A and B are shown apart, each in its own frame.
Chain A
Amino acid sequence: MNWLKYSAPQTFYPLADTLVPLFAWPAAILTLIGLYIGFFVAPTDATQGEVYRIIFIHVPAAWMSMVIYLAMAFWAALGLIMNTRLSFMMAQALAPTGAMFTFVALWTGAFWGKPTWGTWWAWDARMTSELILLFLYVGYMSLTAAIEDTRRADRAGALLAIVGSINIPIIYFSVKWWNTLHQGASVSLTKSPSMAKTMLLAMLIMTFAFWAYSIAASLMRLRCIVREREKQAQWLNEAKE
């Protein structure tokens, strides 16, 4: 099978059309199942009480925020190397979802931190890097939004995403070392290693749900971007009918 066939917007557009419901429905159903198990089936945590249940949203969201940035940098690099328009559109379609999950991870983290640590925010290495990740998403989105020429916007955004992804490990380790230098005895992030099986199950289901949601949402956004950019194209007018 010739996979390159789908690198053209013209052939990918109908494929995205069929793929969106294939991911959107599982996302909705898995979220319901995952939240049900997380909130009603999973046992109360011995040390943290009911509050811990926020991790069923918090942890998968934090994972997605990082995975999506990597995916974005991957599509950006592919676009710069292969000069495929669809790759750039893919990168741009992923960014808002990634930023949203980063924000959700930070927000739920603050809600979890207040009752357990007694503070909304601590300058912990992971939280700080997550905040910087949000800045990187915002930078990428504002750069692509500020450039009117789509070709330049695509390529400039792609370069920024790649530079950012090279910097992410450097930022992470610098923040980690900074943190160990500064923080004496405030909060310890070490969670109890043993996790009940149902908790793990709920978290896994939520992770799959968020994956499916991310794919569905970015494919939807991709379709909008294709429509916007190819509005002059003959095939799009034919596809509408």
Chain B
Amino acid sequence: MAMNNLLIAIIARDLRLAWRRRSDVLGTLFFFIIVVSLFPLGIGPETALLRTIAPGILWVAALLATMLSLNRLFAADYADGTLEQLAIAPHPLAITALGKIIALWISTGLPLVILAPILGLQFDLPADALLTMTLALLIGTPILATLGAIGAGLTLGLRGGGVLLALLILPLYIPVLIFGAGAVEAVIHGVSPSGHLSLLAAGLILSLAFAPWASAVALRIALD
């Protein structure tokens, strides 16, 4: 019971903080929109080509946008000492990390998922592909947030942390990218995406089980 209360308290607190710093959240979202819109400008406006590359582009942009938002996950709490207080509190740090991950996903991952079908329309994706993409992003973006939390913990307070975070985390994101974009591509080619989506869901369960714990270890190392 106490665990649930802690989790909810952390989520509520982080969401409130995110609400008060709306420009950060909006910045990530607009980054996503701009990156996605750059590709047609670079590649050319041919509809057939854009339709084939759309799943990959949207997913890569989602990966990058998530990665940019990760800097915010622990940095402010680390800078003002809150994180240290949370770490010495008698609750498991993994629960705290999980709460912060969930709040981060609600504030940046979820808007991205909601926005994705609209951006998909820019690429002339058919309706069923749009639906699958939204579903795949809904399962996939929480994985990105949980895995990213490990990297955010490891690079906490380091000089050039942003680039370093990309080096550490992007290789680990590759399976999510493959299955996420694969699901959409499967629908475009008329195959069932259930295999890809199941693997994504399995990845989500695995990462939810282990990543908060690993990011707690990473935070303890950083705070040591």
User: Which A residues fall within an 8 A CB radius of B?
Assistant: 132, 135-136, 138-139, 142-143, 146-147, 151-152, 155-156, 159-160, 163-164, 166-167, 170-171, 174-175, 177-178, 181
Contact = CB atoms under 8 A, between A and B. Distances in A.
B222 A135 contact: no
A136 B175 contact: no
The 7 closest A-B pairs by CB, nearest first: A174-B175, A135-B171, A178-B178, A155-B221, A139-B168, A139-B167, A174-B178
B144 interface: no
B160 A146 contact: yes
A175 B224 contact: no
B154 interface: yes
Given A132-B171, A146-B164, A163-B214, A177 B221 contact: no
Contact of A181 (B155, B182, B210): B182
A63 B22 CA distance: 50
A183 to B, nearest CB: 13
27 contacts: A132-B174, A135-B167, A142-B164, A143-B154, A143-B155, A143-B164, A146-B158, A152-B221, A152-B222, A156-B154, A156-B218, A156-B222, A159-B154, A159-B218, A159-B221, A160-B168, A163-B150, A163-B214, A164-B172, A171-B171, A171-B172, A171-B175, A174-B179, A174-B199, A175-B174, A177-B178, A178-B182
Which residue, A147, A156, A166, A177, has most C-beta atoms of chain B within 10 A? A156
Contact of B171 (A136, A143, A146, A152): A136
How many interface residues does chain B have, given as a range? 20 to 34
Given A132-B171, A142-B167, A160-B150, 10 more contacts: A135-B171, A139-B167, A143-B164, A146-B159, A146-B164, A156-B222, A159-B150, A159-B217, A164-B171, A167-B172
Contacts of A138: 167
A135 B174 CA distance: 11
Nearest to A136: B171
Nearest to B191: A181
B29 to A, nearest CB: 27
B192 to A, nearest CB: 13
Given A171-B175, A175-B174, A175-B178, A156 B167 contact: no
B156 to A, nearest CB: 9
A141 to B, nearest CB: 9
Contacts of B178: 174-175, 177-178
Nearest to B217: A159
| Residue of A135, A136, A171, A174 with highest tally of chain B CB at under 10 A | A174
Interface in B65-113: none
Contact of A174 (B167, B174, B210): B174
A174 B200 CA distance: 11
A132 B169 CA distance: 12
A178 B217 CA distance: 32
A55 to B, nearest CB: 27
Nearest to A176: B178
Nearest to B185: A181
Contacts of A164: 171-172
Interface in B132-171: 150, 154-155, 158-160, 164, 167-168, 170-171
A170 B203 CA distance: 9
